Amino acid sequence: MAREKELRRSLAVFPIGTVMKLTDLTARQIRYYEDQGLIQPERTAGNRRMYSLNDMDRLLEIKDFLNDGYNIAAIKHEYEKRKIRVQQKRVALTDADVRRILHDELLQQGRFTTPSQQFGNLRI
């Protein structure tokens, strides 16, 4: 359910005109934030920018940062800190972890059994 919600929020379906109305930002401001790497809207085959709800949230947050006295460099720094925190939360899995997870998944699906389960008490 949460995955579906995130998928919907990440769908790029809003043209820049709609984004301008909803965020009260100018097209120039929005393009500048893109040039600065603060947002990355998707592009259509015709190279038209399309924005998602997540993009609009980011634009509104940038607007709030600016109203709080942050400059673009400080905003970039804040987003970089967030990115690092997210990466640090991801724990690298060892080979043994991957094998255990795969084994458990296969057992749950009923596709993997031990030889003794397959052939009764016969040991192979």
Please name which of 65, 86, 67 lies closest in space to residue 76, comparing C-alpha atoms: 65
Give the per-residue pLDDT at 50: 97
Lowest mean pLDDT among 13-17, 33-37, 90-94: 90-94
Query: Which of the four pLDDT bands, split at 50, 70 and 90, describes residue 29?
Result: very high
Give the per-residue pLDDT at 110: 67
The mean pLDDT of the chain is 86
Give the per-residue pLDDT at 24: 97
Please give the structure tokens belonging to residue 22. 């909803």
Query: Using CA atoms, how far apart are residues 1 and 19, in angstroms rounded to an integer?
Result: 26
Give the per-residue pLDDT at 92: 66
Q: 43 pLDDT exceeds 70?
A: yes
Name the pTM for this structure. 0.68
Q: Which tens digit of pLDDT belongs to each residue from 67-121?
A: 999 999 999 999 999 988 888 777 666 788 778 888 888 777 765 555 555 555 5
Percent of the chain with pLDDT over 70: 85
Query: Using CA atoms, how far apart are residues 39 and 86, in angstroms rounded to an integer?
Result: 18
Give the per-residue pLDDT at 41: 97
Taking the CA of residue 119 as centre, how many other CA atoms within 13 Å lie in the half-sphere pointing to its CB?
Answer: 5
Q: Which domains does the chain have, with CATH numbers?
A: 2-71 (1.10.1660.10)
